[in-house]
Amino acid sequence: MDLQKKPADRPARPDPEGCLVVALRLPVRIVAFVLVVPVRMAWDALVVAGRLLRDAVLWPCGRALLWLGEVLVVRPLGWLWRYGVVPVARALAWLVRVLVVVPLVWLHAHVVVPVARALAWLAHWLIVVPARRLLEWVLVPVGRAIGWVLYWTGRILFVLPALFLHRWVLVPVGRVLLVVGREIRDALGHAWRIAGHVSLAVGRFLGALLRWTLVEPARWVYRTVLTPVGHVVRDAVLRPAARAARAVGRTARQALSAVGESARQARADVRRLFLGGPGAPRGRETVGRREPSARGARTLGSSTTALTKD
């Protein structure tokens, strides 16, 4: 439990602004004021004039025009429709019904229907029945006879010769060709297998010859000559050169980091000078990256130089 009273939080102070920001803000506000104020005044004047025109002119004129339209157009048209168009339309409908519809219904019932029935009876007995008899007793037998003639003609002229050719010519020739092809296939298979054995023996001989003339001497030279020489070059030349290169690179990185820190600090100071921004923190000391901290302090047995530090 905390018995001490915590101090009240102070309101955050705005960040200081640079002289360049203030110098640019004032002319911009003046130009905006000069351009916006006349436009706003003109807009307000147009709004007031429009409202006055609507209330004093448009609404009264509209009401007067509506009254005139109702008196001069709507009421006369309603009277004309009720007392003129509707009676005339009813009279015309009665005349059409009496003069057109009733005669047409009578004509259809007493003239058109009997005539149509008579014509249908005549067409049935004079056209349909003879056509059916002609189809059953003439056309169907003639078609069957023509089909029978064509069937046997095609069978004699095409089917029987094709069957004879297939049975007595193509089948024997195909069997002979099948036997010849099978023998050729077997001969080629035996020759291919024998050639494979010969090729395998020749390949093994060439492989052994290359091994004992090239591979084994090269392996002996690598193992007895090149490997010891490489070990000597690695231990005497490459490793010392690598250690020296690492030491030089470490020193160069430290120097470049110090230069970069100085450049960033200078850029931050210039930005605060012209544009404003948060100041440097107070109450604690800034510690440079190149200075050792308390954990890395020098001792009698330690080495912190760039060339000896590993």
Q: What is the pLDDT of residue 119?
A: 92
**Is the sign of the CA dihedral 53, 54, 58, 64 positive or negative?**
negative
- The predicted model scores a pTM of 0.30
Q: Which residues contact 304 (CB under 8 A, 6 or more apart)?
A: 292, 296, 298
More confident residue, 298 or 260: 260
Q: Which tokens hold the place of 186?
A: 């077997």
Tokens of 266: 């200078």
Q: Lowest mean pLDDT of 39-48, 144-153, 208-217, name the range.
A: 39-48
Tens-digit pLDDT profile for residues 222-235: 999 899 998 889 88
Q: Write the pLDDT tens digit of every residue in 114-164.
A: 999 999 999 999 998 899 889 889 899 999 999 999 999 988 999 889 999
CA distance 5 to 175: 117
Mean pLDDT of 24-38: 69
33 neighbors 290 (Cβ within 8 angstroms): no
Task: Give the single-character DSSP code of 289.
Answer: S
CA pair distance 114, 120, nearest whole angstrom = 10
Q: Give the Å distances, CA to CA, from 132 to 137, 141, 144.
A: 9, 14, 17
- Give the lowest-confidence range in 106-110, 111-115, 196-200: 196-200
The answer to whether 18 and 273 are in contact (CB under 8 A) is yes
Residue 13's pLDDT band (cuts 50, 70, 90): low
- 84-97: average pLDDT: 90
Non-local (6+) Cβ contacts of 16 within 8 A are: 276, 277, 279
Residue type, 196: G
Q: Give the whole-angstrom CA distance, residue 24 versus residue 26.
A: 6
Once rounded to an integer, what is the mean pLDDT over residues 287-296? 45
Query: What pLDDT shows up at residue 275?
Result: 76
Query: Quick one: pLDDT at residue 285?
Result: 42
* Residue reference for tokens 């149509």: 116
* Residue 272 near residue 17 (C-beta atoms within 8 A): no
* Dist. CA 122–CA 151, nearest whole Å: 41
| Per-chain mean pLDDT for the chain | 80
